[in-house]
Amino acid sequence: MRIWCFDCFTDEEEEGRLKQSAMDNNNNNNNDDDVDLDLNQRELGVSEDERWPMCEEMMRAATEEEEEDGTELEQLWSSEIRSHPHLVLQGESSNAAAAAVGEDCTMEEADHDSYHKRAKVYSGLAEGRSASGVSSDAGSSVERTVSFGVASSSRTDVDMFCQNFILNYGRKDGKKDEGDDNGSSESEDFEVHIDLTDDLLHMVFSFLNHIDLCRSAMVCRQWRVASSHEDFWKALNFENMRISIEQFEDMCLRYPNATEVNVYGTPSVNALAMKAATTLRNLEVLTVGKGHISENFFQALGECNMLRSVTVNEAILGNGAQEIHLSHDRLRELKITKCRVMRLSIRCPQLRSLSLKRSNMSQAMLNCPLLQLLDIASCHKLLDAAIRSAAISCPQLESLDVSNCSCVSDETLREIAQACASLHILNASYCPNISLESVHLPMLTVLKLHSCEGITSASMTWIANSPALEVLELDNCNLLTSVVLHLSRLQSISLVHCRKFTELNLQSVMLSSITISNCPALRRITITSTSLRRLALQKQENLTTLVLQCQSLQEVDLSDCESLSNAVCEIFSDDGGCPMLKSLILDNCESLTEVRFSNSSLASLSLVGCRAVTSLELKCPRIEQICLDGCDHLETALFQPVALRSLNLGICPKLSVLNIEAPYMVSLELKGCGVLSEASIICPLLTSLDASFCGQLRDDCLSATTSSCPLIESLVLMSCPSIGSDGLSSLNGLPNLTVLDLSYTFLMNLEPVFKSCIRLKVLKLQACKYLTDSSLEPLYKEGALPALEELDLSYGTLCQTAIDDLLACCTHLTHLSVNGCVNMHDLDWGSTNVQPFDYFGVYSSGETTREPAEAANRLLQNLNCVGCPNIRKVLIPPAARFYHLSTLNLSLSVNLKEVDLACSNLILLNLSNCCSLEVLKLGCPKLASLFLQSCNMDEAGVEAAISRCCSLETLDLRFCSKISSVSMARFRAVCPSLKRVFSSPNLAD
């Protein structure tokens, strides 16, 4: 089998001979490793000067397939490889080469392997190396690889065209591939067959680019033929390639029906362009450039009848100082850009588009009666008279670009306007001499006047005479002070960096886009439009007056408009001219003090950074989002009604009056509203209310809230000292209440809570120092709050007995926190002085005492005793039956000396900063994390403690002064399950 491609060629019949040649090459070039070759040469195998001659030789040999047999072509390849030392034959080993020629295997074995193995194609090329550097590996196969070097920037294109060429015209090997009398072939056995119909392949391949087509050609013969179809190779792209005239001519002969040619950046660009114009009779698109283009080229173009588009870029035309003539009867598009030429004369009766952008001609004579687009931007040497003469000679002109032509005058524009009645697009940006005085362009639709110093407010009078104008750009017109336009078709206007611009008055029913920024003097804006949907006027610091009559306006952004007054609220109310407004941004509008909106369509409002606002009143039944970050002076807030689902007013510390009517609200946060004294909250779907630190909130307000919000599930009244028994009694109107936080209050009696909150699951009483020892008796004596699971008594003053009774009797508790309780003493469930049933909630009567098995099981999962200074001993034996305890936190208990735990489900134990700890006994088979930071335990104590913790993964021993770094290995040996051991770098050694 033979697979011919640009990067690689594999021929199994000549494998042995070429491998032997590779070995000879290596023996003759032992010092190749010391040669500093060019990167492309080392990777690709040949130099730039060699790559095209060798490719051409290969192509020429391929086209003679009907005249020569396979042996002759193989001899050609062998001679080429021997004559170019950069072509390296890559083998896996020296013994593999011997195997290829039959020294270690028989011909039968080779035929058998060839029959069953798929053909391999390799494109890599190894660098030359000495024979002694090749490892010996008997039986290894050797693949031959030949690559032709191409410059890195254009290798893909070379691969594409040359590979396609060879695939199209490669050898069929005469008798071998064409088959014998029976229509079979020996090489057919080695082909990879993917049998698809030609029509189907043609349709599929039509979606592939040239690179993928070349790759597909290497699959099988059918794909190779399909991928080389003429329909896929209409464009020949040689951009930036090193290709000779002979090679290009040969390519043109092989592709006579090509319609597009690109020879931009080739060494002989002029000659190649001439050859393309004279050889390819169907040529329609031609691209040349980067070099000298002779006058003969433009004359030759006249003979290319099918030509429709010509592009000449970055070239010197003629000698740069002569006149260039171009005459073509059918040319429709011409681009001569960035070129050096003295004069141009163009006669193209069918030309529609002409671009001379950034070319330095001093005169351009045009005879193009049908020309519609003329681009002479940045032609700095064209005088005003030359521009005028060129433009008025094209009566059908529709688009004219004279930007950066500083000599253009109003007189030229007036004559162009008279001669070109159909002019629709005019770009006169960076033309300082124009003011548009007496310029009438009735058909104009697009006008661009960037950085035109002559454009003033008087120019608007002449612009107004263009009733068809749709796009107007006036950026960087520094002398412009006002724009007053009444244009019915105006759709877009841009005013950026107009330093003296003070007033904008636009009336256009079709206006849909306004771009205004960095106009520091702008004070007044009046806009009338039925199409405008979005208006952004950020950072207009002096804007004071805004009048809008925009029936379709939905989004407005007035961020950083610091001078806007409260009157702006009237514009965005129902009677203000924006009935469809949905989003309004007034961030950092620091002059606003009272914000009142009555808008039935508004859905989003942002007042971020409006620090002067003291009063907010919203009657917006559809508003769903409001942001008040930074409104720290807000005193009164009225939301009646709104569609908000959540609201955070905790960032308004001066809020004193709140009225809110929100039928869809589920979450309200008033945390930090310390002076809030009047609150009317009517939210029938409210489930969460956080009134933390609302020190002025009274019982009557709480009662009204619970009456109007019966679905509250979570109520936080932390640091609300004005709430008393009357307010707590009103909680009976909240049947779904499950979370109640009364921390940091002055409560003395919890009876209203026990009676009103039957379904309470979480009760937080942190720092309630006025609670007496008997305040919690209903919990463990009367069975109050049977659903209670979490109880927080941190920093309280309850005595040890009350805490013991809670632990003993409230078996349904899952979370208990007694952090910082000074009355908390030892947790000793193994003391001989205490009967087990005293802790299990079963009290004896007479001599018969029976302990129900179920009552003894604790449900406690999390016990927190952080910072309890009087705890010295913690003993939890198996008899205590804390089967569910998973987390125990005793950190910061500085007097704790002994811990003895037998908890079968304990997972986390925190004893950090227990500096007095001396004894640690753990019978916790599921313990995974143990924290002993800053403890005085010695190595033996820690080792004994963790020896029975077979699931321990994390051990924290940072700042343990009695434990040295060498002990870490001992701990891991005692407890193999350890994965993470944290220790300080300054451990005792």
d(CA 154, CA 40): 12
User: Tokens 């804007």 — which residue?
Assistant: 543
Contact 742, 765 (CB under 8 A): yes
Inform me whether the pLDDT recorded for 931 exceeds 50.
yes
d(CA 860, CA 817): 11
Contact 546, 568 (CB under 8 A): yes
At 189, is the secondary structure helix, strand, or coil?
helix
827-828 vs 815-817, strand pairing mode: unpaired
pLDDT tens by residue, 539-594: 999 999 999 999 999 999 999 999 999 999 999 999 889 999 999 999 999 999 99
Q: At what angle do helices 15-28 and 70-83 cross, to 10 degrees?
A: 10
Number of C-beta neighbours around residue 563 at 10 A: 14
Q: At what angle do helices 245-254 and 269-279 cross, to 10 degrees?
A: 20
Confidence band for 241, pLDDT divided at 50, 70 and 90: confident
Q: Give me the pLDDT at residue 76, please.
A: 39
Q: Give me the pLDDT at residue 132, please.
A: 33
Kindly calculate the radius of gyration of the chain based on its CA atoms and give it in whole angstroms. Answer: 45
d(CA 523, CA 538): 13
492-496 vs 657-661, strand pairing mode: unpaired
Where does 656-807 show beta strands of DSSP type E?
657-661, 667-669, 678-682, 688-690, 714-716, 739-741, 762-764, 790-792
Inform me whether the pLDDT recorded for 531 exceeds 70.
yes
CA atoms within 13 A on the CB side of 933: 14
Within 8 A by CB and 6+ apart from 124, the residues are 90, 145, 147
Contact 909, 864 (CB under 8 A): no
Instruction: Name the H helices within 64-141.
Output: 70-83, 94-100, 107-116
CA atoms within 13 A on the CB side of 760: 24
Give me the mean pLDDT over the 182-202 stretch.
58
pLDDT tens by residue, 886-897: 999 999 999 999
Q: Give me the pLDDT at residue 514, please.
A: 96
Sign of the alpha-carbon dihedral angle for 174, 180, 184, 187 = negative
Instruction: Name the H helices within 733-845.
Output: 751-756, 777-781, 800-809, 836-839
d(CA 213, CA 204): 10
Confidence band for 141, pLDDT divided at 50, 70 and 90: very low
Inform me whether the pLDDT recorded for 935 exceeds 70.
yes
Nearest CA-CA partner of 809 in 785, 830, 793, 825? 785
Which tokens go with 573? Answer: 């109310």
pLDDT tens by residue, 158-167: 444 444 444 4
Within 8 A by CB and 6+ apart from 987, the residues are 960, 963, 964, 965
Contact 803, 818 (CB under 8 A): yes
Nearest CA-CA partner of 421 in 436, 441, 405, 437? 441
**Mean pLDDT, rounded, of the chain:** 80
Give me the mean pLDDT over the 212-226 stretch.
85
State in Å, rounded, how far the first CA of the chain is from the last one: 74
Cα torsion at 192, 197, 203, 209 (round to 10°)? 20
Q: Is the peptide bond before 641 cis (omega within 30 degrees of 0)?
A: yes
Contact 207, 45 (CB under 8 A): no
Higher pLDDT, 444 or 157: 444
d(CA 181, CA 347): 63
Q: What would the DSSP string read from start to end of 434-496?
A: ---TT---TT--EEE-TT-TT--TTHHHHHTT-TT--EEE-TT-TT--EEEEE-TT--EEEEE
Q: Give me the pLDDT at residue 49, please.
A: 43
Cα torsion at 402, 404, 409, 414 (round to 10°)? 20
pLDDT tens by residue, 670-706: 998 999 999 999 999 999 999 999 999 999 999 999 9
For residue 3, list its beta bridge partners.
Answer: 10
At 733, is the secondary structure helix, strand, or coil?
helix
d(CA 287, CA 261): 6
Q: Give me the pLDDT at residue 986, please.
A: 55
Confidence band for 218, pLDDT divided at 50, 70 and 90: confident
pLDDT tens by residue, 709-723: 999 999 999 999 999
pLDDT tens by residue, 293-338: 999 999 999 888 999 999 999 999 988 777 899 999 999 999 999 9
d(CA 735, CA 647): 23
Angle at 439 between CA 438 and CA 442, to 5 degrees: 125
Strand order in the sheet with 657-661: 594-598, 615-620, 636-642, 657-661, 678-682
d(CA 618, CA 60): 85
Confidence band for 183, pLDDT divided at 50, 70 and 90: very low
How large a percentage of the chain has pLDDT more than 90? 60
Nearest CA-CA partner of 824 in 895, 915, 905? 895
The amino acid occupying position 870 is: N
Q: Give me the pLDDT at residue 195, please.
A: 58
Q: Which contiguous run of DSSP H or E holds residue 295? A: helix 295-301
d(CA 712, CA 686): 6
